[in-house]
Amino acid sequence: MNYLKRLMLFSIFLPAFIAGGVCWYGVQVSQPDFWNDPTIFYGVRAVRWAFLLLGVFPVLLGVWMLLGAAWRGPVLAAAAVFAVLLLVIIIAPQRDYILPEKRMIHFGVNSVMPSGTDIYCNGILLGQSPLKISVGELAAKVPVCTAPPEQRWYNAKQRLFTVFPWDIFTAERYKQWQELASANEEAVAEKAAKFDTESRYWWRFEHGKNQFCVKAKRQTSYSTFENALSYSIDMDSGWVFSPSVPFYARLLIDIAGELGEKDNAAGDNVIGDNVIGEKADWDKHVLKHWTLLGDALWRAAAYRRKAQRMTDADDDFRNIRALPGETLWDSVARLKYNLSEPPTQEESRRLLKIWVESGSFGTASSLGASGVLYHTPHSEEVLIQAAAQQMKDVIGEPLSEQWAEHLNGSGYYQWNSGWAALLYVSEKLSQEDVIKGKNFDGLVRLVAASALGEKTLLRSSDERVIPLFKTLLRSPSAAVFLGSMNGDPSGYVQTIQQYRTIDNPVLESTYRQFIFAALSDPKLRDNSREWLQKTVYEIILERLRLGYGMRQTSDRKSALKEYAAWISSLPLTSERQKALLQYLRYSEQMQVQPLTLANLMQRAAGLDYTMETEKTAEYVNGWFAEHPQGTLTEFFKEHEGGFVLLPRYGRDSRRASSISAYQCLVYALLKIDTPETRKTIRRIWENDQPVVWTMMRKILRLDQQNVVEEITVEIPDFYFDLFSTMDTEGCLHLMYGFTMSASPKAGELLKKWTQSESQKVRESASDCLEQWQTAQQVREKKKELYHDIVTEKIGSDDMLLPQPVWRWNGKEYEASGAL
Amino acid sequence: MNKVICKLAFRESGIFAVPVIILLIGLVLFQQEPLRYANVPAAVLGMLLGILLAWRTFSDYGNVRAFLFSRSFSPKRFFFVRWLFGLGTIIVTGIVLAAIIAFGLRQFVQQVFFASGWYPMIRFEELHVLTPYILASLFSYHSTLYFMLVNRFRPPVRRRGFFLCLRWVETLLLILLAAVLICSLGFAGIILAFSSPSPPYFLFVEYFLYIIFGIPILLQLFLAPCLGIYCYRNQEIES
């Protein structure tokens, strides 16, 4: 009898005995990193504890039960163990579960410190990043430093070191640091220097020829629950030990803009006779010294790009337009990765494979709004992105709907992640494998079972998708709809947002009917209705912008008419309705492209801004051609509340009449430099000068910053003709900015103003003319220097000026040698 | 005689089991969301059905016990028929639910009353809802049966009143602990599966459930009748 009882009891508890082990095994097999987790409890790795508690212990309980224990015994034992665990984990959080010598120090690979960086501690090479070393191993390998070492670069005020003091991975020093950090700011500044110099371990990081300069950051954590210390080391650009590197980089960026232009629409600002060489030479030189210069180059490019006339609405430094029609890095990327122009399918796939397999990029979930690359330094990111941009037309496969969704992001404009989606076209996502190859019925079954592939299903053209979609629209949880019964529109908002990216002509009318019904729901309270209206307005605007609901129609005009009729029927405020109708009118001119990777990449890179800006300019040109005496003010009045130019400035109808809309429109005209837009600008200039020249001044960045940073400003000669008609006050505001213009017309205009009747203007113009002439000379010198560098008359090492060495004198660091 | 035993069992358990079966049928007919293998109401109702069947069928109180054991049929048959009655009820209910789904009654109701757009594509896919029902009902039936049998053999409480209450409290607490233990470990895999986007655990969680609960159920199908027959034989001897 007893054995029967025991067996039966054993079978009842069998799920408990084996479930833990099966789960643990499943997780371990599918997530191999789990095995590498070094968390330690009482000297035993957490993974082993999990194995014991979830795998071995339940099985032992089962065996115990089989051998004769009454069921109370094993159950009580299990309960006791878990209760103790609970007490230990929850109630005693301060205990240190990690043996001090077992604590791991992990130098990862990140956007600043690339893979393969040499890591030195107290002068001893520990290895290359990524690197993991325990405190015990470090202590065994590296002798303690008794005095602060020599620094190749040091800034006391900013606590910048090239050999960085860091030893707070020991409890004792960490405690001291905590006491220091808890003091007030002044006391911290005073004691920090002393604390740093008492460090027993000094770290140095070098990559290629470059030594990183490390800036101490205040935040750190010495958690008792973490297996490793997490310490944020704020790395500076890495080239600080030679401050001439930024100058070197700036020189190269400035010259890049003068190497000859392509696709210049204006036709009258081509620079030169090309004496300083071809872009190909520039590319070769830059790539050869990329390790030294890469980071500084992209920073310099980012900075200078802001000063250029053709700045995009999106300050994306990656798309510097040194040469109109081509980004700065395109040719460098082609050279580096051996790509054709445009790249072939094979080249693209080869590259994608290399990037993905190198583990350079985060997982899908990590590519959120920021599109951060976790393992690539900025300089590499620039070239990879440039190459990816060129590949986008090649890898033109239709995206999985999940990735189309991802590109649009959880918000409305998540452009940064778009280019990375390119990589995932080639990467096999498990969800992709599951959805792939399924017909409509199969997809429906998949969605019913798992909710996976819903978006793919809703893009089907099978007529059966309509009743299914209607069912899905009704199917949010009862709680949500119960809410809506009480006047809470959350359910509507959630559903409308969830399906806003469905672009299927078969389902469009159903979706619109749902929106109409939601807005017309009499149960909604006033403030809830306002919220719903606002959300719906923004969603419709986004859909209009992306062309959803009109993309796949053959009769575009009818589709737009229908859309307009629907918008007019919606119970929205008149302001919002007008804005939407205006945008619809504006989008009549837009060429909506199919939802493929290519054009989504374009959107993601901001290149569609170019397209929209062209259309904007065309539209505005057309209006001003019809209204020769028109002013900007009249233009906006006619388009009251409704002129949506660029997404950044048009989403909120109230903004349309604000200064940002003016700016936006003038920017569009300035950017698209065609004879028609010049006519428009001249008209606006003559009729509405005060508005325009303020905007132009801002957009052309004719301000002091350019002078301070020695940034050459490109101003087409056309504008100098307009500027020459300005009155006294206008001159004074602009002439300072001319000093950084390379155009001879700037000098001519400044010379002209030195003859002005106004004394103020004469004096200012004289000073500015002198500065302009100096700037021209500097520019010529830079060209000569560049020529010498690229022809290797001057080596790159010669560009790096020697720096003083900082030595510890027992009390503080002092510089010795040339400054 | 078998009929009489079944009738008796039905009389004891019907009043509790029938509403649960009706609820199950109602769930299968009227739930608007597609029926999936991870259907908690089906699992809960199945568990409830199993517990009620075992409890009501096998809890023979004083006078009933005396009547039953005065009959001339063997205790083996007595237990076996009642056990099969419970098992049969669970299986027949499962067959009824499967028929409702497979023969299109659910589809008809959903399309006519709720204008559901899921059909007919998922008609047979929804048979997966039987997984939680069958596993939960069979497992809970046998587990409860075990405790009903074992309870017979515990020594009578010497002092009634407080100590009897104490025993019940102790039993309940321990059952609760056991349930928590089983559930937390048993469903950990499901939680992991649902929270992990990759790999797609959902594709094989159902099989995981079959392993975790199916093996015990198979064991119980063999052990329960053996234990029950043994208990009933000894019950007679003791009584």
DSSP chain B: -HHHHHHHHHHHHHHHHHHHHHHHHHHHHH--SPP-S--HHHHHHHHHHHHHHHHHHH---HHHHHHHTTSSS-HHHHHHHHHHHHHHHHHHHHHHHHHHHHTTHHHHHHHHHH--SSTTTTTTGGGGGHHHHHHHHHHHHHHHHHHHHHHHHSPPPSS-THHHHHHHHHHHHHHHHHHHHHHHHHTHHHHHHHH--SS-THHHHHHHHHHHHHHHHHHHHHHHHHHHHHHHHHHHHH-
| Chain B residues within an 8 Å CB radius of A79 | 177, 181
With a cut of 80, say whether residue A37 has pLDDT above it.
Answer: no
Q: Where does A198-329 have alpha helices with state H? A: 244-256, 279-288, 290-305
Report domain extents, chain B. Answer: 2-153+187-238
Closest partner residue to B215 among A14, A431, A450, by Cβ? A14
Q: How far is B40 from chain A (nearest CA, A)?
A: 14
Average pLDDT of the residues in A37-51: 63
Out of A7-16, A579-588, A605-614, A697-706, least confident range: A605-614
With a cut of 70, say whether residue A607 has pLDDT above it.
Answer: no
- Interface with A, mutate which of B79, B183, B185 (most A CBs under 10 A): B185
Question: Is the CB of A12 less than 8 angstroms away from the CB of B220?
Answer: yes
Q: Is the pTM of this model over 0.90?
A: no
| Chain A residues within an 8 Å CB radius of B178 | 12-13, 16, 71, 75
In order along its 239 residues, chain B shows pLDDT tens digits of 778 888 888 888 888 999 999 999 999 999 988 998 878 889 889 988 998 998 888 877 655 566 666 666 677 788 888 999 999 999 999 999 999 999 999 999 999 998 898 989 999 999 999 988 998 899 889 988 888 887 654 555 555 666 667 666 666 666 665 565 555 555 554 444 444 444 456 666 777 778 888 888 998 999 888 888 887 777 655 44
ipTM confidence: 0.81
Question: Is the CB of A445 less than 8 angstroms away from the CB of B208?
Answer: no
Write the pLDDT tens digit of every residue in A252-296: 887 886 675 443 333 333 334 445 677 888 889 988 888 777 777
Question: Is the CB of B192 less than 8 angstroms away from the CB of A27?
Answer: yes
* Residue A356 CB burial class (10 angstroms; 0-12, 13-18, ≥19): middle
Closest partner residue to A18 among B212, B230, B231, by Cβ? B212
- The predicted structure's pLDDT at residue A782: 85
What gap in Å lies between CA A551 and CA A562, rounded to an integer?
Answer: 14
With a cut of 60, say whether residue A577 has pLDDT above it.
Answer: yes
What gap in Å lies between CA A439 and CA A447, rounded to an integer?
Answer: 12
Out of A218-222, A590-594, A801-805, least confident range: A218-222
Residue B213 contacts A, CB cutoff 8 Å: yes
Q: Output A121 or A689, whichever has higher pLDDT.
A: A121
A127 phi and psi angles, rounded to 5 deg? 150, -165
Closest partner residue to B181 among A16, A448, A452, by Cβ? A16
User: Chain A: residue nearest B231 by CA?
Assistant: A1
What gap in Å lies between CA B36 and CA A305, rounded to an integer?
Answer: 56
Q: How far is A77 from chain B (nearest CA, A)?
A: 11
Beta-carbon contacts below 8 Å between A and B: 152
In the DSSP assignment, the letter for residue A555 is -
A28-66 in b/e form (b: 16+ CB < 10 A) is beeeeeeeeebbbbeeebebebbbebbbebbeebbeebe
**What is the band of A124 on the pLDDT scale with cuts at 50, 70, 90?**
very high
Of A96, A168, A165, A102, nearest to A136 (Cα)?
A: A102
- The predicted structure's pLDDT at residue A186: 59
What residues contact A656, with CB distance under 8 A and at least 6 apart? A579, A636, A639, A640, A641, A642, A643, A644, A649, A650
Q: What is the mean pLDDT of chain A?
A: 68
Residue B112 contacts A, CB cutoff 8 Å: no
| Distance in angstroms between the alpha carbons of the first and the last residue of chain B | 22
Give me A66's structure tokens: 């089989």
| Chain B residues within an 8 Å CB radius of A15 | 139, 182, 185-186, 212-213, 216
What gap in Å lies between CA B178 and CA B182, rounded to an integer?
Answer: 6
What gap in Å lies between CA A581 and CA A587, rounded to an integer?
Answer: 10
Q: How far is A511 from chain B (nearest CA, A)?
A: 15
Question: Is the CB of A14 less than 8 angstroms away from the CB of B216?
Answer: yes
Average pLDDT of the residues in A192-221: 65
Please confirm whether the linkage preceding A32 is cis (ω < 30° from 0). no
Residue B235 contacts A, CB cutoff 8 Å: no
Beta-carbon-side half-sphere exposure of residue B93 (alpha carbons within 13 Å) = 32
- The predicted structure's pLDDT at residue A741: 78
- The predicted structure's pLDDT at residue A646: 38
A312 phi and psi angles, rounded to 5 deg? -85, 165
If one counts every other C-beta atom within 10 angstroms of the C-beta of residue A380, the result is 20
| Chain B residues within an 8 Å CB radius of A18 | 211-212, 215
| Chain B residues within an 8 Å CB radius of A465 | 117
Closest partner residue to B118 among A26, A30, A468, by Cβ? A468
For residue A455, the one-letter residue type is K
Q: How far is B182 from chain A (nearest CA, A)?
A: 5
Q: Which of residues 23-62 of B touch A (CB under 8 A)?
A: 32-34, 36-37
With a cut of 60, say whether residue A352 has pLDDT above it.
Answer: yes
What residues contact B211, with CB distance under 8 A and at least 6 apart? A18, A22
Question: Is the CB of A364 less than 8 angstroms away from the CB of B197?
Answer: yes
* Residue A13 CB burial class (10 angstroms; 0-12, 13-18, ≥19): buried
User: Chain B: residue nearest A5 by CA?
Assistant: B227
Contact A446, A438 (CB under 8 A): yes
Q: Output B172 or A317, whichever has higher pLDDT.
A: B172
Write the pLDDT tens digit of every residue in A128-144: 877 778 888 899 999 99
Question: Is the CB of A22 less than 8 angstroms away from the CB of B189?
Answer: yes
| Chain B residues within an 8 Å CB radius of A466 | 117
Write the pLDDT tens digit of every residue in A392-448: 666 554 444 444 444 443 332 233 334 444 444 444 334 555 666 778 888 898 888
A211 phi and psi angles, rounded to 5 deg? -100, 130
Q: How far is A600 from chain B (nearest CA, A)?
A: 24
Selection from A43-47, A632-636, B79-83 with the highest mean pLDDT: B79-83
With a cut of 70, say whether residue A216 has pLDDT above it.
Answer: no
For residue A399, the one-letter residue type is L
- The predicted structure's pLDDT at residue A45: 67
Q: Output A154 or A139, whichever has higher pLDDT.
A: A139
Question: Is the CB of B226 less than 8 angstroms away from the CB of A4?
Answer: yes
User: Chain A: residue nearest B206 by CA?
Assistant: A449
User: Chain A: residue nearest B208 by CA?
Assistant: A22
What gap in Å lies between CA A584 and CA B170, rounded to an integer?
Answer: 72
What gap in Å lies between CA A316 and CA A305, rounded to an integer?
Answer: 9
Locus of tokens 């120090």 = A105
Contact A15, B213 (CB under 8 A): yes
What gap in Å lies between CA A379 and CA A387, rounded to an integer?
Answer: 13
Residues paired with residue A132 on neighbouring β-strands, in sequence order: A106
What percentage of chain A exceeds 70 in pLDDT?
53
What percentage of chain A exceeds 90 in pLDDT?
5
- The predicted structure's pLDDT at residue A584: 76
